[in-house]
Chain A
Amino acid sequence: MASLAAILGSGSMTNSIPEIEGMEVIFIIGSNTKESHPVIANRMIKAYRNGARIILADPRGIPMARFAEVHLQLRPGTDLALLNGIARVIVKEGLKNTEFIRDNTQKFEEWEKSLEPFTPEYVESVTGVPAGLIVKAARLYGGSRKAGLFYTMGITQHTHGTDNVSAVANLALVTGNIGRESTGINPLRGQNNVQGACDSGALPNVYPGYQKVNAPENREKFEKAWGPALPDKPGLTATEMFNGSIKALYIMGENPVLTDANQGHVVHALEGMEFIVVQDIFMTETAKLADVVLPAACFAEKEGTFTNTERRVQLVRKAVNPPGEAREDLSILMGIAGRIGLPASYCGAEDVFAEMGSLWQGVQGITYGRLRRGGIQWPCPSKDHPGTRYLYKTGFPVGRPPFTVVPFTPPAELPDAQYPYLLTTGRNLFQYHSGSMTRRVRQIEEHAGRAYAEISPADAAALGVKEGDVISITSRRGTIDISARVTGGIRKGIVFIPMHYAEAAANVITNNALDPVAKIPEFKACAARIEKKTA
């Protein structure tokens, strides 16, 4: 996200979901769309039925593979080599968009030179994807001027995640596949309001609307609006908050014990803090470590807005009352604000949204009155603005976006003699994130309530493991016992664990090595050892 914003000016989806129908070519990399974003996958299938051609790059035989004309089954962590390889074919075969590159971009020549080593044969040796398929994918994507790129955590959750995103952006820039209807770059956001949380300024380096905290004019504007003097240096990211300097933590609706990489490290850090407040709807693994737990309301019990992955602000309406004494988060927050002397008496969510609109032009034109008639996609700078379906129609706010030279770097930790398997993580269709919601739905638990690790038939045979056997998976950080699921959808040497199950939490073993810019932990690749458990 950070990287895409740096290159193009914004880190969100450039197209809207309905536009997927009109795409000629859909290139999905590092996204298990049919399980993690099922209703977006429905649009892709609609496009497919209209004749769209689908390229899929994913280490596993995920459900979307059924619709893919080309499935690039790369080794986890080798996305950069693959993307550079595809770019090289596009440039060499004259599929580049010369006009777009000349008029809209910069640093092309330098980047073009950097691609030289990424021949299809070299890329095959790194990624395990046959050279012929790399060429085919390049011709498909490069041959279209109405193509959409889609990616999620499979691209970002690496120590080189920022580079991965740059490499994705390079592909769109070299073909000019951006800034038009049904044509663009689309990071799919994982949680219902992750777009909105970023937009609303729940980030250490920016105020609402991505206004940098270290720019004096922004600070002045927010000080004027809010009252007190504001700090000028960017704060710590979530993962950095567990490195010892934080003495008191206020956590609203998050479960870092389960969702952050390297669970042991997070628990240790939380135990070392002097005071923790957790505001949540359940006694989560994190709440258990708190000093004060505040009972909050869930989405069905409050008013407000969520912003989805395509920047669409939509109204959340209250349907039922929260249980017992539980309260809406907004009223809890007002209670805190009042006690520390921060003026924050709002009549309700609408009032808060209006204040945000007065400080960020992107949503200035959006009012609850308009939202009652349907969602609106920002930017929406004025009350008569219809909202923005796709970005960069009239050029890029950053001027000419640059091509980024991205040398291939392997994951921070690679298999070796002691830890011979490459472990990757993800989601499944039925469970959601840390499972604090879905694991309390009896029907979902009945159907998908058991943790499992996917391994290839070849590895299963070598280990003497059958479907359903318990195996123990060990990395340099920890061990979990988990039931084996043998599937032809995964390649030899690779093991996959869904992240949802606390009893076999994938993040006990994942690596908390960070991407140096975006500070995202490398969930998607680490080295592991597998042993069969004898009953």
Chain B
Amino acid sequence: MITLTIDGKKTQVVGGATVLEAARKLGVYIPTLCQHPKLTPFGGCRLCIVEVKGVPRPLASCTTPAAEGMEVTTSTPQLEGLRKTVLELILSDHPDDCMTCEKAGNCTLQELAYSYGMRENRFRGERRTYAKRDANPFIERDLEKCILCGRCVKVCKEVQGVSAIDFAYRGFQAKISTPFEHDLNCEFCGQCVSVCPTGALTGKGWAKKGRQVEVNEVDTVCGYCGVGCNLTLNVKGNEIARVTSREDTWNEGWLCVKGRFGYKFVNSPDRLTTPLIKKDGKFVEAGWDEALQYATDRLMEIKGKYGPDAIGGLSSARCTNEENYLFQKIIRAGFGTNNVDHCARL
């Protein structure tokens, strides 16, 4: 264990921990944009700078390992001035369109601009403009809002193992690019979207469906494969506006394309909305009472005619435990046969 002092408070961390991690452990707030707890440190945004006694210049706390006896100061007028300058530089090249941005209210950059009171900007000047829209159906890439924090690049490489994007060009021309600037063609897991601190990366299907302040967040479990990732359905009215996942669950907030972007079947116009009974080869709408009574009468009649083992029940790996339990109970105890199965084998 290493002992160090941060803002006059002593703390202990394991060897290899960074100064930023030590500060977080103490509950000391240091602003960051590029740092993400699940990704390797980058040291790109320079917001997390701190003063260390005996070191003549500020250090990025996210890339500085904690050392024995270190004395760290996280906030001084000089540090705050530098942070403000960094923010001013970022904002000087960022569209002022929080009014229409999907991310407003849930944007780290907006939050920092708010807390540092960034109304004026000494660096107003040329801005990067990117007219071309990426044609992929899942992820909206608005490069004008990109602050080049590199989180998306890192998550794609380190978590997803795909490396579909990287930094390209230098200086003012620097941007996050796909190979040869083609349209994005990747696994579309949207991990990049989930870690983007600004509105540069959002879901194409999210547009105008409701900002974070308007949605109701419902924690549930994904309905696709057997991995069972934790999902948060962001609901506005009776519609799912988007799907996110919490970082503090076992799946650490990571999802796949189906879980993150495959939810629109819920509101499909093809959904069945009323019970149907087939009459003369055609489906006719029926009430619940009529349909349930007819179904049970016919099932009991066939049971009476051929015996219970002429009845079969196919339950579902898509339904809940409770539904499966009750289904097999009905087949076994209600109809008197063990002919119940589901598609586990398929």
Contact = CB atoms under 8 A, between A and B. Distances in A.
B228 A317 contact: no
Interface stretch (B47-55, B122-130, B303-311): B303-311
11 contacts: A192-B223, A201-B329, A247-B311, A248-B312, A252-B323, A260-B343, A294-B292, A312-B250, A316-B221, A336-B296, A341-B334
Contact of A202 (B225, B250, B256, B327): B327
B116 interface: no
A1 interface: yes
Interface string A248-268: 111111101001110000000
Contact of B299 (A277, A294, A296): A277
Contacts of A432: 224-225, 258, 262
A30 B296 CA distance: 42
A437 B233 CA distance: 17
A247 B265 contact: no
Interface string B224-267: 11111110010100111000000001110011111101111111
A164 interface: no
Interface stretch (A141-149, A414-422, A486-494, A518-526): A518-526
Contacts of A296: 272
A330 B227 contact: no
Given A193-B318, A196-B320, A340-B296, A201 B328 contact: yes
B283 A293 contact: yes
A269 to B, nearest CB: 10
8 cross-chain pairs, A with B, having the tightest CB-CB distances, nearest first: A324-B273, A308-B228, A304-B320, A235-B338, A253-B316, A189-B226, A299-B223, A38-B256
Interface stretch (B8-16, B19-27, B99-107, B155-163): B155-163
Given A298-B265, A323-B271, A437-B224, 14 more contacts: A36-B225, A49-B158, A239-B345, A248-B298, A248-B299, A249-B311, A250-B299, A252-B316, A259-B346, A281-B271, A320-B233, A342-B333, A352-B322, A355-B325
A336 B295 contact: yes
A131 interface: no
Interface residues of A, number: 153
A126 B266 CA distance: 47
A248 B158 contact: no
A409 interface: no
B319 A315 contact: no
Given A208-B325, A247-B302, A248-B312, A231 B225 contact: no
B266 A300 contact: yes
Nearest to B277: A292
B324 A227 contact: no
B342 A340 contact: no
Interface residues of B, number: 111
A290 B278 contact: yes
Interface of B: 136-138, 158-161, 187-189, 204-205, 216, 218-230, 233, 235, 238-240, 249-251, 254-259, 261-268, 270-278, 283, 288, 291-296, 298-300, 302-303, 305-306, 308-346
Interface in A25-82: 34, 36-42, 45-46, 48-49, 63, 66-67
A153 to B, nearest CB: 8
Interface in A326-376: 326-327, 329-330, 332-337, 339-342, 344, 346, 349, 352-353, 355-356, 374-375
A237 B345 contact: yes
A326 B270 CA distance: 12
From DSSP, what is the main secondary structure of chain B's interface residues?
mixed
Nearest to B205: A443
A320 B271 contact: no
B272 to A, nearest CB: 4
**Residue from A353, A438, A521 whose CB has the most chain B CB atoms within 10 Å:** A438
A506 to B, nearest CB: 12
A294 B265 CA distance: 18
A283 B278 CA distance: 13
A282 B272 contact: yes
A37 B226 contact: yes
Contacts of B299: 248, 250, 275, 277, 340
Contact of B272 (A45, A230, A295, A319): A295
A166 interface: no
Contacts of A384: none
A511 interface: no
A317 B223 CA distance: 12
